[in-house]
Amino acid sequence: MRLIDTHSHLFLEEFSEDFPQVIERARAVGVTHIFMPNIDSTTIEAMLSACSVYKGYCFPMIGLHPTSVNANYEKELEIVARELKFSKEYVAIGEIGMDLYWDKTYLKEQQIVLDKQVNWALEYDLPIVIHCRDAFDYIYKVLEPYKKTPLRGIFHSFTGTAEEATRVLEFSDFFIGINGVVTFKKSHLPEILAGIPLEKIVLETDSPYLTPVPNRGKRNESAYVKDTLMKVSEIYGMSPEAVGDVTSENALKVFGMLK
């Protein structure tokens, strides 16, 4: 079994006491790569430290998360710019995007920050990893001018409609990130996935959040990507091994790691 967790925050405090064991459990179920999205300037050090300990297994991204966008966003962007300029460690710009679920105060700033980071992705030839919450149309409007560019990326934790999935796939080098939400009883994702080719899907956990069934209620971790895999295999009517292979190839492709 080959698995990749394309989105995991294992550097957060929730894992401070058993991080090595979390990694071992991931390895035990066949996880070959774990990709770690940054949040803001307060998380860079912890993320880089985690990726340094497990170099070649855990891979860092750099970006400013939309919920960290506020009146101080220009200073935060300067830090992202500096990291991109002076480090070759980063495999993506993420997680970036827009989140209007809690607050729309900084809607305009979120658009500016997203656009700026999309431009950096093109400048540095890196994929983007997009966080979208109650903001699909706004994000699409920012991304639309880049349709004919080499921009590539992942719509992380996709929970949108069939129409939104179709609009994501208008971008030929974009993939849809599926996590534990697909296993939830009231999730509409199984029906949505029926219309999406497996060649456009990557798997993720979003650890420590969105734990899949049957572990829902516990802290999520990278090993639980296997539970998402089992559900996705059921939806596509394919063996877990085959789905693991296809989604892993998709992940390596988007992160520019195919041999």
Mean pLDDT of all residues in 63-79: 97
Q: Radius of gyration over alpha carbons of the chain, in Å?
A: 17
Neighbours of 31 (CB within 10 A): 26
Residue 156 marked as a ligand binder: yes
Residue 188 marked as a ligand binder: no
Rounded CA gap, 17 and 26, in Å?
16
- Contact assessment for residue 54 and residue 23, using Cβ atoms and an 8 Å cutoff: yes
Percent of the residues in the chain that have a pLDDT greater than 90, as a whole number:
98
DSSP state of 220: P
Q: What are the tens digits of pLDDT across the range 32-42? A: 999 999 999 99
Neighbours of 83 (CB within 10 A): 18
Rounded CA gap, 107 and 21, in Å?
40
Note down the domain range covering 122: 3-255
- Contact assessment for residue 110 and residue 133, using Cβ atoms and an 8 Å cutoff: no
CATH of the domain at 118: 3.20.20.140
Strand partners, 129: 154
Q: What are the tens digits of pLDDT across the range 5-22? A: 999 999 999 999 999 999
Total count of domains within the chain = 1
Rounded CA gap, 85 and 34, in Å?
23
pLDDT for position 170? 96
Residue 76 marked as a ligand binder: no
- Contact assessment for residue 147 and residue 136, using Cβ atoms and an 8 Å cutoff: no
Residue 95 marked as a ligand binder: yes
CA pseudo-torsion sign 245, 250, 252, 258: positive
Residue 7 marked as a ligand binder: yes
What's the first-to-final CA gap in the chain, in angstroms? 19
Residue 65 marked as a ligand binder: no
pLDDT for position 258? 81
pLDDT at 44 over 90: yes
Q: Which of 140, 135, 252 is nearest to 203 (CA)?
A: 252
Q: What are the tens digits of pLDDT across the range 19-30? A: 999 999 999 999
Q: Which residue type, as a one-letter code, is found at position 72? A: N
Mean pLDDT of all residues in 40-52: 98
